[in-house]
Amino acid sequence: MDDADDLPLRWRTPTAWADVAVAAPLRLLDDHAHLERDAAVNALALLRRLPADRPAERWVRALTGVARDEVDHLGTVTRELTRRGGELSRSHRNPYAAGLRDHVRTGQGPDELVDRLLVSALIELRSCERFGLLAATGSELAALYADLTASELGHYRLFLRLAAQVVPAEAATARWDELLDVEATVASAQPPGPRMHAGAPTEGTTGAP
């Protein structure tokens, strides 16, 4: 996979985030399982927005492939949670993704679809960075996250490719540039905690919410 330094994120997660995450593995895995479900749902929801001028079959193949991967990940993460004595919680909030979706240009046809694809790419990209940090911890979770990283990296690249099919490539690139800044702001503003898309603890705190 790409080295984490190659990921085009504009705010780098401090390693203190990973320290908080691995200190509460059941809470991390629970949050992560919900995110995998959300990712599967998102991939299938995008099928309701197929561009009219593109072959549907290729989009269906691409997006169902993502959904299938995410369903697999949901199973893997939930099994790991259960094996450790945890239980999937019945409710979940995703303020990071909600913060990104606030910037989707809703009701604007191709621009809305591009934004939804680029936001999907951003979430995958940030997840790749976080998985890499977890893989580097040497904790019991390291192997799990090392295994999952390549798949999410593939999704990130796929969503970018799809976005470039909806509007001219220059327009997609320009919007991507804007949304990378948005993502850095949203990610760095999240409160700390043992969650995949949490912010980092400030120095001298434990990060416990």
Site for Fe ion, rule CB under 5 A = 36, 39, 70, 73, 124, 152, 155
Distance (Å, whole) CA 10 – CA 151: 22
Task: Tell me the β-bridge partners of 192.
Answer: 199
Distance (Å, whole) CA 106 – CA 24: 37
Among 19, 28, 42, 44, smallest CA distance to 148 is for 28
Complex with Fe ion: residue 34 or 155, whichever CB lies closer: 155
In the complex, least distance from residue 75 CB atom to Fe ion, rounded to whole angstroms: 11
Complex with Fe ion: residue 58 or 68, whichever CB lies closer: 68
In the complex, least distance from residue 80 CB atom to Fe ion, rounded to whole angstroms: 13
In the complex, least distance from residue 152 CB atom to Fe ion, rounded to whole angstroms: 4
Distance (Å, whole) CA 119 – CA 83: 32
In the complex, least distance from residue 48 CB atom to Fe ion, rounded to whole angstroms: 19
Among 144, 197, 84, smallest CA distance to 136 is for 144
Complex with Fe ion: residue 129 or 152, whichever CB lies closer: 152
Distance (Å, whole) CA 193 – CA 16: 10
Complex with Fe ion: residue 87 or 147, whichever CB lies closer: 147
